[in-house]
Every structure is written in C-alpha cells, then in structure tokens.
Amino acid sequence: MGEGKLVMNATLVTGAGGYLGSVLVQQLLLRGHRVVAVDAFYSGDVLPEHPQLEIVRADVRHLDPAVFDGIGSVVALAAVSNDPAAALNERWTREVNELAAERLAAAAREGGARRFVFASTCGVYGGAAQVMDETSTVAPRSAYSESKLAAEHAILAQRADGFEPVALRLGTLCGLSPRMRRDLVVHAMTYSAVAHREIVVNGGEQWRPLLHVADAAAAFLACLEAEPGQLTHPVYNVVGENLRVSEIAELVAKHLDGIEVRTRESQDDAISYRVNGQRLHDDTGFAPARRVADAIDEVHRYLLEPGRLAEMSTPQFSAADTMERLLVTPAVCGGQPVRAEALPFALPLLGEAEETEVLDTLRSGWLTTGPKSKRFERMIADYVGARFAVATNSCTGALHVGLAAAGIGPGDEVITSPITWPATANVIVHLGARPVFADIDPDTLNIDPSAIEAAVTARTKAIVPVHMAGQPCDMDAITAVAAAHRLTVLEDAAHALGARYHNRRIGELSTAAAFSFYATKNLACGEGGMLVTDDEALADRARSLSMHGISKDAWKRHTVTGSPHWQLYEPGYKYNMPDITASLGLHQLPRLAGFIMTRSRYAHLYDEAFADLPGIEPLLTRPGIDHAHHLYVIRLDLDRLTVTRDEFVAALRAEGISTGIHFVSLHLQPYYQRVHDLAPDALPRAREASERIVSLPLYPKMTEADISDVIAAVTKLATAYHR
C-alpha cells in the first residue's frame, strides 16, 4: 500500500471503500491514476494493496488539509446513502452529505484541485409522469435527496477559474462490487428470489432509473478525464435503463426460473420517476455498457458462492442497518459519535456590555483594586442581603481571609465536607488548623449534619459546609449544631450564588459565606471571589488581610484624595480583586437570574430524560430550596453497568461530550491520607460517591440541541453497557 505523498495530479476519492467507491478506485488504478482513497471503512477493508494507492482512514467531516497536497481532482462519494439510512439521523445526514461535501469542495479549490465531481442522485426529481432531464423541476422528497440537492448548490456555487465542480445525478445502482449491498432494488429482489423463492412487489407501477455500478464508475472517469472546458454543464444525469418496479421483478424471476412474483397494493413507495442521460453522452461520449440483466446475473452468481447468502443477510450489507448499528454502538467501540464536534464541559456567557466595561477599565488606566471592585462589592452585598462584602481574587482567598478573620489558627479543628475542591480544606491547613471531614448525604453530596455533630470535639472552632453543585445544605440542622457548640459557620458557596434556603439567599444565613467567580461559575469573571458577612469587625479584618494586612489599598493610597501613608497591622496575603476582574462582574450579576433560569430548565430536561434510565441516578433536590444549578451530577449504578465510571467518562468523551468529576473525596487524596492517616472506608459514603459521580455539561451558552446530544450520549452508553 502506498505510503507518503503522491505526486501532483493524484485523484482523491472520498467514500472510496463504499459500494461505488471500491469499483471506481479499481478503474482509476487500471487507467494509471494515482489515488488517495478516503473512507472510515465502517464495513471493513475492501481495497487492494497497490503502489499507486494511498489509503486515508478518516471521517470525511474531519479531514486534515494536508490530504489535499498534490491532488489534481476530487471525487466526492462519501455519504449517508439511501432514504432509509438518511432518515435515521437527519443531522448526521446533513453533516456528511451536505456540510462536509461543501467543505470538501472549498478545501479542494484552496488546495489547487482543478476538477471536483460530486455524486448526487436522481432522487432530487422526486416524482413525475414525464421523463426528467437536467432542466426539469426538482422536488426532493426525502432527507437523503434534500441533502444531496443542497450539497449540489453549495458545491457548484464555488465554481471559479481553474476549478470545475460538476454533479452527477445517479440512478439506482446495481451490480457486483467489492463492497456488496443488499438494500438496492435489484439486489433485494435477487436476494429474496434466492433465499425465499419469491419476490414481493409493493405496487409495481413505479419507475426507477437504474445504472450498473461499473457504468457509474465509468461516468466518473469520463468526467475526470474530460478536457478543460469539455464539461459545458454543471449537472448531468447518469442512467442506464428506466424500468418499472414490476419489470425489475419479472427480469429477476425470468433469470432464476420458478420464482413467484406477488404484487400487493401499497402506498409506502409513491416515488416514481424516469430520467434522460443524453447530456452526459453529448459532452463526453459516455454510454452505459451494461444492462440490468447483467447486474442480476452478477448478483445471482455472487449469492450462489458458499456462505454468501447468509453473509448478505447481515447488517453490513444494508446502509440503514449499518447506520443503525453505528448509532447504537459506543464510539469508543467503533460506532458513530453523537457529536461531530466536542461539546465543552463549561463555557462562560459574556456579552457586549462586559466587553465595553473591560475596555473602559483598560482605557481608564486604573486596572487594580479601585472604584469598580468597590461597586461590585456593594452590588453583591445588596444581592445576597449582607451588610458587607470583601472582593478577593478567588473563592480560595475569600475562604482563607474569612477563616483567618474569624480567629481560626494553630491547634483548631474545622469540620468540612470531603466532597469539595481542595481549596476548602487547604486554607484550613494554611492557617495551622486541622480539617476534619464529615461524611455526606449520598443523594445530594452535601455534608451530613449528623456526621458534623459526631465530629465535634473540644478543639472544633468552625464548620465550613459546601453547597455542592448549587444545592444548599441543610442549614437549619447545621446552624443548630453550631449554636449548641458555639461554632463559627463560614459557608463555601462557590457553587451557590443565587441559591435560596427557605426563601433566604445563601449569603445571609451564617457568620460569613464565600463565593466564586471562576470562569465556569454561574457568574463568571475569569477569576475572583467574594466574602460576605454582617459582622463589621470580621469584614474589616478580612479586607486588611486580603491586602497584605495593611491599612489602605492602592486606591486609597494613590488617588488625588488619598494618602501615601499606610500601616501594617499583621502579616496578610495578596488576595485583592482588581477592577479589570470586577468589570465583568458588574454586568454578569444583572444577568444571573436569567442564567440560573436557563440552567434550571436544562437540568429539568436532564431529570426527565434520566428518571427511568437504568444505571443512571440523578442527584435529588431537597424541598424548601432554590437550586443554583451550577453543576448537574449523575451517579452511575455500577452494579447495573459493565464499565467503571472512568470508562464511562472515556466513552462519553468519544461521543463528543466533555464531563467533569466533582469530586474525588479529599480523604482519598495522597496528602490527606498521608498527613491525617485517613483510611478510604473512614468515610464510606464519600468513598462510594467518588467512584460513581459524573458531572454533565450545564451552562447557559448551551442550546437545547446540545442538551439533547448529552441525553442521547448518556442514554446510548447506559443502554450499550447495561448489565
């Protein structure tokens, strides 16, 4: 098999491993052409090794531009072929038959190819009593023929000096090929005659334009080898014989002898048309050399070979059966992915107002902490119902200065959830205190108040509940534990801006709460965080700690009304939020309600789709709360699936769906296992959740079509891997 690049004037053939492509490639090689054969080869390898042949295994929707190097002409055969196959997934049909063909033509022209021959269909004529020629009105009646006609228009519109695209509208093919099919009318009747000794005809008066596959290949050769300017028309019909369906059946019965032809009334096949192929003959001299009777004889002989009859009954000999198999087979196992382009796990939704505000900040010359971060603080405080807000560079920073300002230090213990981002526990460690992990409620992934109570010791000074995925924790129970033991509660609300607990916003329930404005959060500033509290002393100390522990930030030191003098009260940190970050938040916050509404609607679609899907368990939503829907987490019932969570995630990636894992329990992480001597079974519910959870894409920039793709991918895999 040829390796490396072929010289100039090679012919690139997409769909080269298909029914027509495999015949055309052989004819091209016999005539001395150098061939680059592109195909996904879903039905196996059928092309022979040849020194003039280079095989490229690829999906036509994702071709490397380098494949066009040295290409002089292109034959575009790749398609979801025939009406039943195309109807199974019309988006896939459009992507392959129309959009990929259009891109292929553009890439061919850009790469220097001179001629582009596109395989269309006579099906674009729909149906008519008269014989149709290329000037006749088109009236496609199926997704397949519609996609082919749309591709014709897109391809022919790219005609330019030195680039000649033409479309060949082919009749229904028949005859012997290295890649045989059962689902062509001549083949289906011949197969039925051999296998069942009868042919059943629906109606029978419908006309079909028929064409031997070898003649179809010859028509492409005639176009490829035509002189410049010889192809004076953009579209050509290619047909051998026009026969009624009943006539085809009689030809098959006559050839085999003793075959019963049964005709039944049916409205299922109302398409009927005849076509004229004189134009191609006039321009190239092409004339079909084979008749339908020749194809019947070839197929009959093929079926009489040992094992062929049984083999031809398998799905790979039917375009629709093959496509159906590809649609239900996981892409990681060779099936067709749900999406051609990967869906990102999360993206922010930013608009013109955010862009304008950022530009205003850049042009102002004041980028660090200043008037915009102060305005953003006030907006957040008002939104959550807190007296004070301290803007920081991250939620990590907000948690750190919040706990520090609350007096947490060496020797103290702080109870928190193990199902969280490491920052929650890490800031406790940075203060010299010890994080104590309490197990979770497996139905919500939130910390279990009874586990908090059990974890309290004489050294416990604070509780940091984490509102996982945007669902508030059981704050009544947590507040009761805190009150009983005189503990500070600082909520990790990184996921929960906009959530409510019994009609009160998260941020007004406890001593303090910390929010995140990371790039993928409900309110996105790229980075950023906010500490909110009603405690003025705590807010003042947290603000100072966020600016090295000094008395004034840059705005108070360097503006015309400020003073350059400052005092250091205690060693602090560099956690302040710059105005460039706040610029985004000023316009994200007014949009937050709409963002959450969209997230909620999408989460509801997920809930409905997965409610009764074996192997998939959505998290529960507790009554009395308004969920912020930052994440949508499912749990896999591994007892009902044949794969692990990580294998399921890899399979989703192959389907074009990006995912997350929120989170692998901190008590299973090497640092906390080593330093705190935590065994995996110390927190059994967190350990089990860590092995089962998967986060699916959920964000306002998604469309409902994206949600449908995620649902389709999860459903496909849950079905394929069902135990």
DSSP string, 227-281: PTTT---SEEEE-SEEEEHHHHHHHHHHHHSS-EEEEE--SS-----EE--HHHH
Written as six digits, the tokens of 663 are: 């989170």
β-pair type (625-626, 500-501):
antiparallel
DSSP assignment, residue 138?
Answer: P
CA angle 131, 135, 137 (to 5 degrees): 75
Contact 127, 274 (CB under 8 A): no
Q: Which helix (H) or strand (E) holds 333?
A: none
CB-CB contact of 235 with 167 (8 Å): yes
Nearest-10 Cα torsion for 523, 526, 532, 536: -150
Does residue 521 carry a catalytic annotation? yes
Q: CA-to-CA distance for 658 and 585, rounded, in angstroms? A: 26
Give one word for 341, left, alpha or beta, with left for phi > 0 and alpha for psi -120 to 50.
Answer: beta
Q: Which of 252, 267, 241, 243 is nearest to 199 (CA)?
A: 252
The full DSSP string for 649-701 is HHHHHHTTB--B-----GGGSHHHHHHH---GGGSHHHHHHHHHEEEEP--TT
Kindly list the distances between the CA atom of residue 470 and the CA atoms of 362, 444, 531, in Å, as whole numbers in the listed order.
Answer: 33, 10, 17
Under DSSP, the state recorded for 471 is P
**Sheet with 164-170, edge to edge strand ranges:** 53-57, 35-39, 10-14, 71-76, 115-121, 164-170, 235-238
Structural tokens at position 706: 């994206």
- Say whether the peptide bond before residue 317 is cis (omega within 30 degrees of 0): no
Place of tokens 């033509």: 105
| Residue 511 Cα to chain centre, angstroms | 42
* 292 vs 116: CA distance, rounded Å: 28
8 Å CB contact between 40 and 59: yes
Q: Roughly how many angstroms between the first and final C-alpha of the chain, as a whole number?
A: 42
CA dihedral 575, 579, 583, 585 (to 10 degrees): 30
State how far the Cα of 80 lies from the Cα of 96, in Å rounded to an integer.
7
Among all chains, which residue has been given the structure tokens 């001597």? 677
Tokens of 530: 């906010």
DSSP annotation string for 78-112: ----SHHHHHH-HHHHIIIIIIIHHHHHHHHHHHT
> Where does residue 163 rank: exposed (0-12), middle (13-18), buried (19+ CB within 10 A)?
middle
Residue of 254, 521, 552, 701 marked catalytic: 521
Task: Tell me the C-alpha distance between 632 and 469, whole Å.
Answer: 7
Catalytic residues: 521
